[in-house]
Chains A and B, each alone.
Chain A
């Protein structure tokens, strides 16, 4: 019994060490979104492609889609853009939220780098971004056919992230919509 007591400090040390070791490899910038499982926030904002048209959250319903928050002032968005183009070619529906940006450079960006977005919401003041809990572009929301937010990815989507993490999630939403 006495002997066993001597092992207690070692056991506590190992427990704490394991806990902290795991912490070394967690990404602290990845925050769980408060919006998972909730409907996409209501909005009525102009379309970037057709400035006369007003888009609302009803326009996003109908089929599962990615809603990508982007801006021309965001260097990671430029890195992510070719991947979004590829995804569009693979048949993934992507909508855009042009977050706190200006119309002219944003339209120029889409002309030059191709436009992977089906709908592009012009959120010049960042009000939709605020409702979405956006804290830095790029961020990508996964919504299902009913317009419910199912997943959020913060950061640049590259081919590996898509293949390993995001493609299965998107596929799941597509399969659900078929039922």
Chain B
């Protein structure tokens, strides 16, 4: 059991290391290393489209990582680096696209749907509430009497049999 568990843990550890592409860049400070990590993780690889450039092994992702490292060393800030890449590859490289007229639906569509759903729910609930007090089972007093009479008659019929 212990053996099984340890091999499972080892397997998981291997999985983790296999995910990220390995580069050997040296950074002047820990803060710079963090900036590099966050940049390569939020930029998208143009070739293998569902990966960020941190995880991708495509040659273009390697080139872009090298380019980002170079720009970091030159002392450019995050905004300048992102602009550099957007100028060449378009908004596509951003996993967080800017809010423009074209991306409004993308940014606010889900929230609008949610709000719409709540509004609909509210309308339905309010309508149901409004109906309830009018009559408990939807029958008028007259109908109520007829129902009682019918039920009575039915029970009489049963006894006869």
Residues of A within 8 A of B (CB): 28-29, 31-35, 100, 126, 130-136
Contact = CB atoms under 8 A, between A and B. Distances in A.
B99 to A, nearest CB: 18
Interface residues of B, number: 15
23 contacts: A28-B49, A29-B49, A31-B46, A32-B90, A32-B92, A33-B90, A34-B86, A34-B87, A34-B90, A34-B91, A35-B88, A126-B63, A130-B64, A130-B67, A130-B88, A131-B88, A132-B88, A133-B46, A133-B89, A133-B90, A135-B46, A135-B47, A136-B60
A106 B87 CA distance: 30
Interface in B41-89: 46-47, 49, 59-60, 63-64, 67, 86-89
Nearest to A29: B49
Contacts of A31: 46, 89-90, 92
Nearest to B86: A34
A31 B93 CA distance: 10
Contacts of B92: 31-32
A38 to B, nearest CB: 9
A131 B47 CA distance: 16
Interface of B: 46-47, 49, 59-60, 63-64, 67, 86-92
Contacts of B49: 28-29
Contacts of A126: 63
Nearest to A35: B88
Contacts, number: 35
Contact of A136 (B47, B67, B86, B88): B47
A174 to B, nearest CB: 27
A132 B63 CA distance: 13
A135 B58 CA distance: 9
A41 B46 CA distance: 19
Contact of B89 (A29, A34, A100, A136): A34
Of the listed residues B46, B60, B87, B88, the one surrounded by the most CB atoms of chain A closer than 10 A to its CB is: B88
Contacts of B46: 31, 133, 135
Q: Which 4 residue pairs across A and B have the least CB separation, nearest first?
A: A34-B90, A135-B46, A133-B88, A135-B60
A132 B85 CA distance: 11
Given A34-B86, A34-B91, 7 more contacts: A34-B88, A130-B67, A130-B88, A133-B46, A133-B90, A134-B60, A136-B60
A155 B72 CA distance: 32
A35 B40 CA distance: 22
Nearest to A31: B92
Contacts of A130: 63-64, 67, 88
A135 B60 CA distance: 6
B90 A135 contact: no
Contacts of A131: 88
